[in-house]
Amino acid sequence: MDGCQIDTIPMINDPLFYALAVPAVLLTGISKGGFAGGIGLVAVPMMALAISPVQAAGILLPILMVMDTIGLWAYRRSFDKSILLALIPGAFIGIAIGALLAGIVSDAHVKLIVGLISIGFVADRWLRSGPAGPPKPVNRIKGSLWGSVAGFTSFVAHAGAPPYQVFVLPLGRDKTIYVGTSIIFFAVINWIKLPPYFALGLLAPTNLWASLILLPLAPIGMGLGIWLHKVIPEKPFFRVVYVLIFVIGLKLVWDGIVAFGTA
């Protein structure tokens, strides 16, 4: 066992990394806990100010899996099975594509794709501006398409929330069903991502130590998200979600354009 001593494992000692990673993990937990859905996708871009986006994604995956476990318990009775059956098969395909293109697709590409999807989706919802209407049936074909996109963007940057929201929000489910279904969907996605992340070296000891240091923040963020979900009424809840998706989309598009300009 003396060949695996802690002091032989390189650790991240940059204070800037932790100054960015701590709020990034807390925001992710709040989002996964059921409040401000989608804001968690800022975690990788925030951490990428100190380390590479690829390394940031590797550090976050174990933390996300712990958050998934907490969320699955908290929302274990609140989900829509038909939505999951429509999304998950496509997610397998999207993750496979992400793994195959891991060395080709740049962070700038992903930011532009996710950002444009986010802005277009929110703009469409705001322009319609009519009443939500009764819950709508699930379209399996659309579910497979958006599940694939969510699987791909989740694999490369943990940014699967906007494609998920594009498909699920128009279905008109109440906020607890919406959150519970998203938790199960992304828990499945994160388990599927585990083997290719390991094969690509994203779960190296250095990254796992950083994950372990940040791990205590997971239940704190999740607890805040679960509490906010319970106290915020449904209409303001979705209003906040739409605004955040739009702002995050603008930021991602801008970051993508800047990255292309400096490439």
pLDDT category at 93 given cuts 50, 70, 90 is very high
Chain position carrying tokens 């806990």: 33
Question: Would you say residue 37 has pLDDT above 70?
Answer: no
Question: Regarding predicted confidence, which is higher, 64 or 112?
Answer: 64
- Amino acid at position 62, single letter: P
Is residue 47 within 8 Å of residue 81, measured between CB atoms?
no
pLDDT category at 127 given cuts 50, 70, 90 is confident
183-221 pLDDT tens trace:
999 999 999 999 999 998 889 999 999 999 999 999 999
Rg for the chain, CA atoms, rounded: 18
Q: Domain-by-domain residue ranges, the chain?
A: 2-262
What does the pLDDT read at residue 210? 94
Q: What are the phi and psi torsion angles at 137 (to 5°)? A: -70, 160
Question: Would you say residue 40 has pLDDT above 50?
Answer: yes
pTM: 0.79
Is residue 20 within 8 Å of residue 47, measured between CB atoms?
yes
Q: How far apart, in whole angstroms, are the C-alpha atoms of residue 123 and residue 53? A: 28
Question: Regarding predicted confidence, which is higher, 59 or 42?
Answer: 59
Query: C-alpha 250: how far from its chain's center?
Result: 17
